Amino acid sequence: MPSQVNVPTELSKQALSGTLEPTTVLGSRRYTKRARVCPGHTTIRTGLHSSGKEPEPQYLPPGWCAYTHPEGQHYFSHDSNPRVITEANLYSLATQEVVALWIEEFQRQCIERNITVLDDAEFYLEPDEESNSCRYYVADYANRVIFWLEEVATDLLGLPATVTDSHLRIALEEHYWTHVEYFSMHRCRQVNLSLEGLKTILLHARVDQLTSATSTFPYGANECSEFLNVVKTAQECTPDGNIVASIARLWNIVLHHRFTIHHGEQFARLSRDQSILDCPATTPSRLFRAISRLCFRIPEANVHELDELYVDNLVYAEPWRNAMKAHRDDWLLHASWALGLLIVDMVSLVVPRLSHHLALASMLACNMSLVSAVILSTRHQWATTSDASDAATYLSAAKQESSGFCWTALAFSLPKASFLWALLLSSMQGVAWIAAIADVYALVPAFLLLIAAGLCCGALPGGWEWPSGRFCARIRAAICRRHKADECAV
């Protein structure tokens, strides 16, 4: 791999004051560049860009070619063995010299470490002007992984934790496909996209989504059908950079899914509600349990739902959207009911022989239901159309280390619980009216209302139930045993 310059300048010599630093595809600055441009008006020269007045092209060093990704990102490729890829601006002479020196440093380290890099591989480099170092990785097209010239910890690279080498390989292959997606234009016909294999994987994912309510594939049956159509269309087209980038992104989805479910490992996740990680359990506090009983145990149900949505710190977009849509509909429904009950309570204030205290208490609960419903539905409007990454960010912030989703679940329950208390207080107006007319307290209706409130709060023993189901079955079983005992006695 020849150097592109003969005499390095002082600036280029300073570039090697740093080192080659391992990075990953996602660790590059592709989407985090801080450069800014200032568009301005100019004078269009006569015949500019016409067939007879082509502007003078920008020249690159020998062996280098410029390409533009379908997203619009410019990058450069050097036709060598192994091939070199960079997004550094090679139209700058100073950058050319720096890149040439880092290529020489890469070659030197390969020789020193006795590492053979296949001709089919690609060396990605990203010079850093601030630290005078250079981020790099090597993409192995033969084995579909990325690797480095030295040992490096996964946490330093930003890679997720793994359980085995085979699990780690899936992560490295996922990054390989991301590399192929980002740099798809320079070797369109040489990349093995394995379209038939991808097609069968998506077909199984589609069937799994259609036949299972807890499929682990992150996209629904309709999306899988669209992906299948993309693959079929790609098989009919002549390979180009757009096709390569599209198929590589689909492979990236497949590999990321395989990594999250521990595909091929001893303990694989077979359904999305199955926990396979050794995560610390969260225990609700006594205070939360007491408040939950006062809120008719609605917070406990919400905790269970949020735990099922965020098993092993994983969230799936479609179940999350459905759950949040159901919550928003429930909040708005109870807000409308609370508004109607609030009007009734306001009217009851002017009706003689009705308790003003009960009416005011019910109005307070209605207002709590209304305000909490409006706040919650407004703050969570985004959640009904959010993607999995946004949902994961939200749930990660909402989940406390010791109490889990307890306090988020409590907030979710406020509109419904407040309305139920308002309804209970408003219903007590009948007792107050009877007491005012008969000049005695209607103990029986009041007692029945207290029993109903106790049942809703879970204050009564959990084993109690209406005389049906298991209770009746136990009675029938006892009668049968007694009947058999009588027969034996005879």
CA-CA distances (angstroms) from residue 462 to 168, 307, 466, 470? 47, 22, 12, 13
- Side-chain-side CA neighbours of 450 within 13 Å: the count stands at 7
Interval 124-180: pLDDT, tens: 999 987 778 999 999 999 999 999 999 999 999 999 999 999 999 999 999 999 999
Using a 10 angstrom Cβ sphere, with 0-12 exposed, 13-18 middle and 19 or more buried, the burial of residue 10 is exposed
Residue 283 confidence (pLDDT) = 86
pLDDT value of residue 4: 42
CA 86 to CA 407: how far, in whole Å? 48
β 122-128/83-86 pair status? parallel
How confident is the model at residue 435, as a pLDDT?
65
Q: Are 370 and 342 in contact (CB under 8 A)?
A: yes
Phi, psi dihedral angles at 86 (to 5 degrees)? -155, 155
pLDDT at 460: 44
Give CA torsion, residues 218, 222, 224, 227, to 10 deg: -120
Q: What distance in Å separates the CA atoms of residue 348 and residue 352, rounded to the nearest whole number?
A: 8
Q: How far apart are CA 429 and CA 360, in angstroms?
A: 11
Q: In the chain, count of helices (H) and strands (E)?
A: 15, 7
- Whether residue 271 contacts residue 214, with contact meaning beta carbons closer than 8 Å, is answered with yes
Give SS3 for 135.
Answer: strand
Interatomic CA distance for residues 18 and 12, integer angstroms: 12
Residues near 147 by beta carbon (within 8 Å), at least 6 away in sequence = 137, 138, 140, 172
Mark the ranges of the chain whose per-residue pLDDT is less than 70. Answer: 1-17, 52-55, 434-490
Could you give the CA distance from residue 413 to residue 373 in angstroms, rounded to a whole number? 9
Question: How many angstroms separate the CA atoms of 345 and 357, rounded?
Answer: 11
Cis geometry, peptide bond prior to residue 82 (ω within 30 degrees of 0): yes
Name the phi and psi angles at 66, rounded to 5.
-100, 140
Q: Reduced to 3 states, what is the DSSP secondary structure of residue 442?
A: coil
Q: DSSP string covering 264-321, please?
A: TSSS---STT---S-PPP----HHHHHHHHHTTTHHHHHHHHHHHHTGGG---HHHHH
DSSP 8-state class, residue 186: S
Residue tagged 């136990």 (tokens): 474
